[in-house]
């Protein structure tokens, strides 16, 4: 598709064509930016239509097909925003001017980025000068799910369009009884209550100079997006597992009333605590789908031996004979490790009974208006979420797996 044709488009253009258009040297200027803004709006409208459909049907949650449509529209919208940003930079820098006519000499490319602390970054001074060659490449992939251990462990993610979502909890089932032919069936009613989930904001903000944004390679915005996503994921995990519940912090599993807590009086010599936790869940009509431990707890389990005087690890057989790593699973239940737990702690739970209520997906925005007089931009990442546990008996909290380290307390 030619650029002139694209600027007249008012319907959805596939992502492949948009990427190809953005890569063309002639893709710059207000008309092209306006056309990309139209594509952003079309995808935002697609996502909003999905939410409106659910709202009109008086549903607080999306159907699986609706969720896929919504997620796809949001992913494409964010990708188009990335393309739009690269075109905006090209327009501002006038990259279309021939090299021989540029007033400034071409900058020399520098080495890659290692261990950069991104605060008030400036191109003229380290560490900003490390990433200031003259090429721009924009793309954005929301990796929150990949970074968050809580989400990877299989907890339910429910999206809502409202400030408060009431998650239903089953307190008791209707009763059943053997009944004679033509006999009267005694009615019985289930009991329900609801748990209000109030999504709260998780945010981070970084200031960066516009020169660095324009000249960085690797793209400093991409680097910030990755780092901010990781920061949100870590803080989300901390909230999911150990949040106090004191606003604005969400209430994590550790502080949910009704979960089963199993304090160990001594460093374990076997895996009985996990076998007992799995049994506890099953006795409460739940199924263990995930085990989450602190690094110290998992390290302690790796040191367990088959018996007194043996050097063979209790989990060694899970590695097989080919020199592979020990498999992260206990009794067939996947094990996930996160630094966001109190040292020596572990959770065993049914992921379907732990619900992350998301009001707003991770959004990363770049704004240069407030710091206009200093030629700087602010990069902000936010999301809104809360945790609800419809069945607290589907969660077992094991403490004291590594007694010597447990005193270090939570990592906050």
333-380 tens-digit pLDDT: 999 999 999 888 999 999 999 999 988 777 778 888 888 888 888 888
d(CA 163, CA 18): 35
Give me the CATH number covering residue 396.
Answer: 3.30.2320.10
Per-residue pLDDT tens digits for 167-210: 777 777 788 999 999 999 999 888 877 788 889 999 999 998 98
Q: Is residue 241 part of a domain?
A: no
Instruction: Tell which of 95, 121, 154 closes a domain.
Output: 95
Q: In what order do the strands lie in the sheet with 200-209?
A: 156-159, 355-367, 376-388, 200-209
Residue 349 inside a domain? The answer is yes
Q: Is residue 25 assigned to a domain?
A: yes
**Residue 156 is assigned to a structural domain of this protein:** no
pLDDT tens column, 55-107: 788 887 788 888 888 888 888 887 788 788 778 777 776 544 444 444 444 44
Pick from 302, 297, 386: nearest CA to 342? 297
Q: Which of 43, 75, 95 is the last residue of a domain?
A: 95
The reply to whether 380 falls in a domain is no
Residue 243 lies in a domain: no
**Residue 348 placed within a domain:** yes
> Is residue 336 domain-resident?
yes
Say which residue, 312 or 42, is predicted with more confidence.
Answer: 42
Instruction: Flag whether pLDDT at 410 surpasses 50.
Output: no
Residue pointed to by tokens 């009704």: 258
- Euclidean distance between CA atoms 335 and 257, whole angstroms: 24
Give per-residue pLDDT as tens, 243-282. 999 999 999 999 999 999 999 877 788 899 999 999 999 9
Of the three residues 95, 121, 141, the one that is the final residue of a domain is 95
Average pLDDT for the chain: 79
Cα(64)–Cα(159) distance, integer angstroms: 11
Number of domains in the chain: 2
Which pLDDT score, from 0 to 100, does residue 48 have?
Answer: 86
Q: What is the reported pTM? A: 0.62
Domain extent, residue 10, equals 1-95
**Of 135, 112, 119, 116, which Cα lies nearest the Cα of 127?**
116
d(CA 202, CA 208) in angstroms, rounded, equals 20
Q: What is the DSSP letter of 129?
A: G
């Amino acid at each position: 598709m030619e650029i002139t044709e694209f600027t007249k488009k008012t319907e959805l253009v596939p992502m492949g064509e948009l990427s190809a258009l953005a890569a063309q040297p002639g893709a710059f200027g207000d008309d092209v930016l306006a056309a990309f803004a139209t594509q952003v709006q079309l995808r935002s409208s697609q996502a909003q239509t999905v939410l409106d459909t659910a709202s009109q049907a008086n549903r607080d949650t999306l159907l699986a097909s609706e969720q896929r449509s919504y997620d796809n529209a949001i992913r494409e919208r964010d990708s188009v925003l990335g393309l739009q940003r690269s075109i905006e930079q090209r327009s501002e820098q006038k990259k279309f001017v021939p090299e021989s006519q540029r007033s400034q000499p071409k900058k020399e490319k520098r080495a890659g980025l290692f261990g950069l602390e991104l605060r008030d970054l400036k191109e003229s001074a380290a560490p900003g000068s490390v990433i200031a060659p003259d090429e721009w490449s924009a793309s954005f992939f929301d990796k929150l799910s990949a970074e968050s251990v809580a989400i990877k462990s299989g907890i339910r993610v429910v999206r809502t369009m409202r400030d408060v979502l009431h998650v239903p909890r089953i307190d008791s089932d209707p009763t059943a009884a053997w009944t004679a032919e033509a006999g009267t069936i005694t009615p019985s009613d289930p009991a329900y209550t609801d748990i209000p989930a109030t999504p709260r904001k998780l945010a981070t903000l970084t200031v960066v100079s516009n020169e660095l944004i324009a000249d960085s390679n690797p793209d400093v915005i991409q680097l910030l997006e990755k780092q901010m996503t990781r920061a949100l994921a870590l803080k989300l995990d901390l909230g999911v597992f150990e949040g106090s519940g004191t606003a604005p912090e969400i209430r994590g599993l550790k502080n949910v009333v009704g979960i089963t807590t199993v304090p160990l009086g001594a460093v374990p010599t076997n895996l009985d605590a996990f076998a007992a936790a799995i049994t506890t869940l099953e006795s409460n009509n739940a199924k263990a789908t995930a085990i989450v431990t602190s690094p110290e707890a998992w390290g302690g389990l790796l040191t367990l031996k088959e018996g007194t005087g043996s050097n063979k690890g209790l989990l060694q057989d899970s590695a097989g004979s080919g020199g592979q790593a020990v498999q992260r699973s206990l009794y067939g239940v996947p094990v996930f490790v996160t630094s966001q737990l109190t040292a020596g702690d572990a959770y065993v739970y049914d992921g379907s009974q732990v619900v992350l209520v998301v009001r707003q997906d991770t959004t990363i925005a770049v704004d240069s208006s407030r710091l206009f007089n200093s030629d700087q931009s602010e990069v902000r990442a936010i999301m809104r979420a809360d945790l609800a546990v419809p069945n607290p008996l589907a969660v077992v909290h094991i403490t004291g797996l590594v007694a010597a380290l447990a005193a270090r307390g939570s990592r906050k």
